[in-house]
Chains A and B, each alone.
Chain A
Amino acid sequence: MIRALRRPHRRPRRGAATLGLGLAAVLVAATACGGEDDAAAGGEGGQVNLTVSVFGNFGYEQLYREYEASHPGVKITERGTGSDLSNYTPALTKNLATGSGAGDVVALEEGIMIQFKEKAQNFVDLGQYGGNEDKANFLPWKFEGGQSADGQKLIGLGTDVGSMGMCYRRDLFQKAGLPTERDAVAKLWPDWDAYTTVGKQFVGKNTGAKWFDAASNTYNTILVQEAGKSPGYTYFDKENNLAVESNPAVKQAYDRMIGMIGDGLSAGYKSFSDQWNAGFKQGTFATIACPAWMLGYIQGQAGEANKGKWDVTKAPGDGGNWGGSWLGVPSQSKHPKEAAELVRFLTSPKSQVAAFKSVNALPSSPVALDDPATKAFKNPYFNDAPVGEIFGTGAKELQPVYFGPRNQAVRDAVESTLLAVQQGKLKPEEAWSRAVRDAEQAAR
């Protein structure tokens, strides 16, 4: 084939012209990136274009239009709507590392926030633009969560919190002869011991479904609760030393989960996998640890056909949190003042109520949580569950937990060993030492 491509030598003709074209193409390609950026950020005649980068859905569309109407000359574009967090995080990291391409306002999910608290130079200090005046608007731990690691800078203002509930399938509960009304269900599991006992009963009834979806989610919920009681941190202590072995809360939650797997309660999925997603629709598990934002996820995965089958109630134990976000302004923004003002607007109690009604993003503002509109809000997909009430109470009682900057890698390492136990690839009695070893490797 290579031989076939050879042609007899022929004298080139329009050499110079071709070269010129080629060079021009290279130059255009090399400079295009810069040009586009400037055009997007710059404004003509006092016009300010602000780009808001988000993942999933923050429910801000209405608020943007409102803001534009009250701030003539400001134009807001949202980017990344509906995107996956696993794509959003690396893209944002790249943009921040290279100093261009991030939006003027960026959503910072819990995991990202933890990592960027130590890299505060990438963000504008919102305190310079009056951000500290909003302190009273937020749950104290949420406000502190938006500060840089040294506490000197305010890099984000809180949007929502992921306070915990427990979602369950009414039809499967009925099949197993368990109560289906949410108050009665909440009474079934005052704590995790009771949750395990009921789980064993449920599995004994052979409904074809398991008690919960995945070891990782339930384990993490238990861990955050235990850590909230004491010592207030999970895998890293507050000096960022790895504490997998020294923190009793980790071992306690881990052992409890190994026990639950042994009792055959887990469906053994990996969270957010295709099979996990299918499980919502097929009803292969009866309960799932449910932060507020999970409601929207379940609705999306289980679909209209399963409307009314899912319900939500109080989680076992006390409170807990999973996820929730902040909004920040990257230092590369050309309009830091205007962007900071928009952040303050979007995170105000009034806006948080609007976002809650729009996409169930549970407010991080006590004012918004106590707002009658939040309290009275019922979710029709979940049998008209009073979600504002169920999640709001937990959010206010929450014991804050500290996460180290390498939390994600260590958490993934530990949770993977639980998955391996469920797959039968790791013996339960060997799992803990493997978890510690992998955590050390991940923290390096």
Chain B
Amino acid sequence: MSTDVTTPVPATGPPGPPPAGNRQSRKEHWSALRSRADSKISPYLYIAPFFLLFAIFGLYPLVYTAWVSLHDWELAGAEHPWSGLDNYRQLVTDEVFWNSLWNTFGIFVLSTVPQLTLALLIASLLNRRLRGRTFFRLSVILPMATSVAAVSIVFSQLFSRDFGLINWTLGGFGISPIEWQASKWSSWSAISLMVNWRWTGYNALIFLAAMQAIPRDLYEAAALDGAGPWKQFTRVTVPLLRPTILFTVIIATIGGFQLFTEPLLFNSGSSNYQGGSLRQSQTVSMYVWENAFVKFDFGYASAVAWVLFLIILLFASLNALAVRRLGGKD
């Protein structure tokens, strides 16, 4: 591999017997050893930084949270007595938790399905020969570059009861003002709209990148067989995008189930963590926050967080299964 052999690298493999032959063969032997070690070990070393970072910032908190969830752990408290599975037992009958899970699921469906569908359509439009293609491609990513806080403030003004643009517009059609935070359907839609607005462009770009990797001749062949644009889209584009769709669905699942900032800012004001007067739009993450920082019950908050983690795993695998079925066998 390298020409510099005067300072041998510390051998990682078992050192061979010292060759008795001449200098040349010894050199070759070392070289072979190093080359073997290089190809065996180097790949692991390359990926090691990620796994080290993951261990520190991902795995350790995960395990620690599990540990905390088995205790009666009051934040900044003096003692943390062991409580076994008590927190999890409490969780099963906690209707506030189940309500927050239902909200999270509802908002997730309302935000992911339209988001990915729209992203797919936008991507296929951007994949055509358009004038100012780069401009359009760049502009779909703009919402991503806006801070969530700014987005939420703008949207909560749009959805304001007294002076909001949306109620004002609806008023033009004779619809009386809606208090968007007050009902499940309205708060879920408003929050989903924020999420959709922010993430559709991002997913569109990912789809677009994948679409450009689809060979042109497939479309030509399909066209020769008489497939129109819609047929080409559903029979060529979508099936070939399957791995990408799987990726976006999983990312959206993870993001959707951890939804926190948008609903929190949408319910601005005191006790915003409750997500509305009757917890109309409290997500599981908000409930974790409520337990940790309002009730200081860190143990219970950790239990909720762990259950959320398991639910995300479950949904991600269910989605993966569902998407794998999409478009038939591989």
Q: Using a CB–CB distance below 8 Å, which chain A residues touch chain B?
A: 1-4, 11-13, 15-16, 18-19, 22-23, 25-26, 29-30, 86, 89-90, 93, 96-97, 115-116, 119, 121-122, 216, 269-276, 278-279, 282, 284, 406, 408-409, 412-413, 415-417, 419-420, 423-426, 441-442
Kindly state the separation between the CA atoms of A11 and B42 in the bound complex, as whole angstroms: 9
Could you tell me if B213 and A26 are in contact, using CB atoms closer than 8 angstroms?
A: no
Could you tell me if A2 and B244 are in contact, using CB atoms closer than 8 angstroms?
A: yes
Q: How many residues of B contact A (CB 8 A)?
A: 55
A31 to chain B, nearest CB (A): 11
Q: Hey, which chain A residues are within 8 Å of B296, CB to CB?
A: 93, 115
Could you tell me if B78 and A89 are in contact, using CB atoms closer than 8 angstroms?
A: no
Q: Hey, which chain A residues are within 8 Å of B298, CB to CB?
A: 97
Query: Across the two chains, which residue of chain B brings its CB closest to A97?
Result: B76
Could you tell me if A425 and B46 are in contact, using CB atoms closer than 8 angstroms?
A: no
Query: Across the two chains, which residue of chain A brings its CB closest to B269?
Result: A273
Selected contact of B295 from candidates A12, A30, A423, A442, CB within 8 Å:
A442
Q: Hey, which chain A residues are within 8 Å of B9, CB to CB?
A: 16
Kindly state the separation between the CA atoms of A230 and B20 in the bound complex, as whole angstroms: 100
Q: Hey, which chain B residues are within 8 Å of A16, CB to CB?
A: 9, 45
The 21 sampled A-B contact pairs (Cβ below 8 Å) are: A1-B210, A3-B213, A11-B39, A12-B38, A19-B46, A22-B49, A22-B52, A23-B52, A25-B49, A26-B53, A86-B270, A90-B289, A97-B76, A216-B270, A273-B272, A278-B160, A406-B295, A417-B278, A420-B182, A425-B277, A441-B96
| B137 within 8 A of partner (CB) | no
Contact string against A for B residues 67-78, beta-carbon threshold 8 Å, 1 for contact and 0 otherwise:
000000011111
Q: Using a CB–CB distance below 8 Å, which chain B residues touch chain A?
A: 1, 9, 38-39, 41-43, 45-46, 48-49, 52-53, 56, 74-78, 96, 153, 156-157, 160-163, 179, 181-183, 206, 209-210, 213, 243-244, 247, 267-272, 274, 277-278, 289-290, 292-296, 298
Could you tell me if B163 and A282 are in contact, using CB atoms closer than 8 angstroms?
A: yes
Query: Across the two chains, which residue of chain B brings its CB closest to A275?
Result: B160
Q: Hey, which chain B residues are within 8 Å of A274, CB to CB?
A: 153, 156-157, 160, 268-269
Kindly state the separation between the CA atoms of A19 and B43 in the bound complex, as whole angstroms: 10
Q: Hey, which chain A residues are within 8 Å of B271, CB to CB?
A: 270, 412, 415-416
Q: Hey, which chain A residues are within 8 Å of B272, CB to CB?
A: 86, 273
* Dominant SS among interface residues on chain A: helix
Kindly state the separation between the CA atoms of A276 and B42 in the bound complex, as whole angstroms: 60
Kindly state the separation between the CA atoms of A285 and B68 in the bound complex, as whole angstroms: 47
Query: Across the two chains, which residue of chain B brings its CB closest to A27?
Result: B52
Could you tell me if A416 and B162 are in contact, using CB atoms closer than 8 angstroms?
A: no
Could you tell me if B49 and A409 are in contact, using CB atoms closer than 8 angstroms?
A: no
Q: A15-B41, A18-B46, A270-B271 are in contact. List 5 more A-B contacts (CB 8 A).
A: A12-B42, A274-B160, A409-B290, A416-B277, A417-B277
Kindly state the separation between the CA atoms of A89 and B296 in the bound complex, as whole angstroms: 11
Could you tell me if B293 and A93 are in contact, using CB atoms closer than 8 angstroms?
A: yes
Query: Across the two chains, which residue of chain A brings its CB closest to B75?
Result: A97
Taking A276-B269, A412-B294, A419-B277 as contacts, is the C-beta distance between A1 and B162 under 8 angstroms? no
Q: Hey, which chain B residues are within 8 Å of A30, CB to CB?
A: 56
Taking A116-B76, A274-B156, A274-B157 as contacts, is the C-beta distance between A1 and B270 under 8 angstroms? no
